[in-house]
Amino acid sequence: MKTMIENDFVFRAGPKMAAVLGINEALVLGMVDYWINKNRENNINYKNGRYWTFNSIKKWRERYFYFWSERTVKRIFESLEEKGILIVGNFNKVGFDRTKWYSIDYDKFNEIVDEKSELFNKYEVENIRENMEISMTNCHDAYCQDGEMHCDRLSSCNVTTCHNANGQIVTTNTNNNTTKTTFITQQPGKMVVAIETKGILKEFLGYSYTDSYASKVINILMSKEKGCDYLREKIELTKNRNVDNKCAFLMAALQSDYKSVNGSTKIDNYGARKNRNKFINFEQTVYKYSKEELDEMIRKKNQF
């Protein structure tokens, strides 16, 4: 295992960066950023006032992201393009070559950081850009990218910029002779899931989205030890059902783990149809009460 750790390629994506973009996007953007910086150091692939790197989705996946499917890698790159963080170009010498060239709009990245800064009420974000820097200056046996695109895996890489012994980021501010140190110790993986979940729900629910609803969804995901892929699966089920109350159906699908079988949702369709109207105002009627209040209402209802 020690040999594998020493010889494997080292990814660099800090928890703050992952919290802003999602862990998948952070890993991909970090890799693109690494190659852009390598090309800047070698003064190659400079076009239209910026440095670029390039590869096909297939090659990105084969060389660096082989733990994902090609479809997943493509989706992540497209997500970064849609956010405006990845700039796409075409500087291929042959017309039929569809290889994409990528550069990073760091201004757009910082803009997204500013927009999401309120989500980091316990964390400082002014140094988040620094967490993108991939410091692998002692790489050996590497086929680095050049003008003819001969890039391949790197081995024996040593990360030269470390934080504390636990891998936690430490930010220290000094003001009026007072030093304040902030440690990211509250399980950044869960923070990433929470922030990504809110983004997914906002996109799906639109004006129906509320932070309280998102908090309930996050609690379900955490209790079931599920991630955002589970949420996306249930959202697809909800879309396919074409229900009137998306919030209520999605909540039930998450809680009861509805499954799709041959394009239909595996639940008691008769029962669901029969009780459909009862759930139209589900969020307004049930979720506005605490557990204690609901228990008290049930107790009074059962009194003779």
Q: What is the pLDDT of residues 114-159, one digit of tens each?
A: 777 655 544 444 444 444 443 333 333 333 444 434 333 333 333 3
Kindly state the average pLDDT of the residues 245-260.
Answer: 88
Domain boundaries, the chain: 2-163, 188-294
DSSP 267-291: S-HHHHHHTGGGGTTHHHHTTTS-H
What confidence score (pLDDT) does residue 288 get? 59
- 283 vs 37, residue with greater confidence: 37
How far CA 222 is from CA of 83, 92, 119, 216, 231, in Å, comes to: 27, 46, 18, 10, 11
Give the mean pLDDT of the chain: 71
Q: What confidence category does residue 290 fall into, taking pLDDT thresholds of 50, 70 and 90? A: low
Predicted TM-score of the model (pTM): 0.44
What confidence score (pLDDT) does residue 7 get? 53
What confidence score (pLDDT) does residue 117 get? 63
d(CA 192, CA 268): 34
The tokens describing 254, both together, are: 């998450």
What confidence score (pLDDT) does residue 243 get? 83
d(CA 26, CA 76): 10
The tokens describing 153, both together, are: 């895996």
d(CA 139, CA 157): 4
Eight-state DSSP code of residue 172: E
DSSP 252-273: HHHHHT-EEETTEEES-HHHHH
User: For the segment 60-90, what is each residue's pLDDT rounded down to a tens digit?
Assistant: 999 989 888 999 999 999 999 999 999 999 8
